[in-house]
Amino acid sequence: MPKFAFHLAIPVHDLNRAKEFYAKVLGFKTGRASQKWIDFDCYGHQLVVHEVDQYKPQNHFNPVDDKDVPVPHFGVVLSWQSFWNFSERLQNFEVKFQIEPYIRFEGQAGEQATMFFYDPSGNALEFKAFKDPDQLFNI
């Protein structure tokens, strides 16, 4: 676990489908659980899915680098190699991407690999990696 772990709780419409997706497809270890929620280890951070009857996300889009980025979204900044390994895992599970893995801002400050996809409840996720990790906040 990192020195400080981030905690995020999100709604899902079907707890069993969420468990299948986050544990099997994304490979996140499950933690504590109840009839209505499950904890996941999301790269050392605590992600909790809560079943909410009739949950429907309201995604909007913001153009970034000529792509429609879903908002809201969440995810993790991975190492460069972990990003490409993870994207390969997702492709092996035939995850449908909103934005396929690609290099954003190529040759510019903040150059990064990024990808966007949705969980079974329609929550948008982004995973990214910076070739130069010092570019995370420095531009």
Report pLDDT digits (tens) over 127-137.
999 988 888 88
Report pLDDT digits (tens) over 53-96.
999 999 899 999 899 999 999 999 999 999 999 999 999 999 99
Are 41 and 72 part of one and the same domain? no
How much of the chain, in percent, has pLDDT values that exceed 70? Answer: 98
CA 78 – CA 137 distance, rounded (Å): 14
Q: Does 82 map to a domain?
A: yes
Mean pLDDT score of the chain, rounded to an integer? Answer: 94
In this prediction, residue 109 carries a pLDDT of: 85
Mean pLDDT score, 37-44:
97
DSSP per-residue codes, 103-124: EESTTSTT-EEEEEEE-TT--E
CA 49 – CA 54 distance, rounded (Å): 14
Domain that holds residue 25: 7-51
Q: Does 124 map to a domain?
A: yes
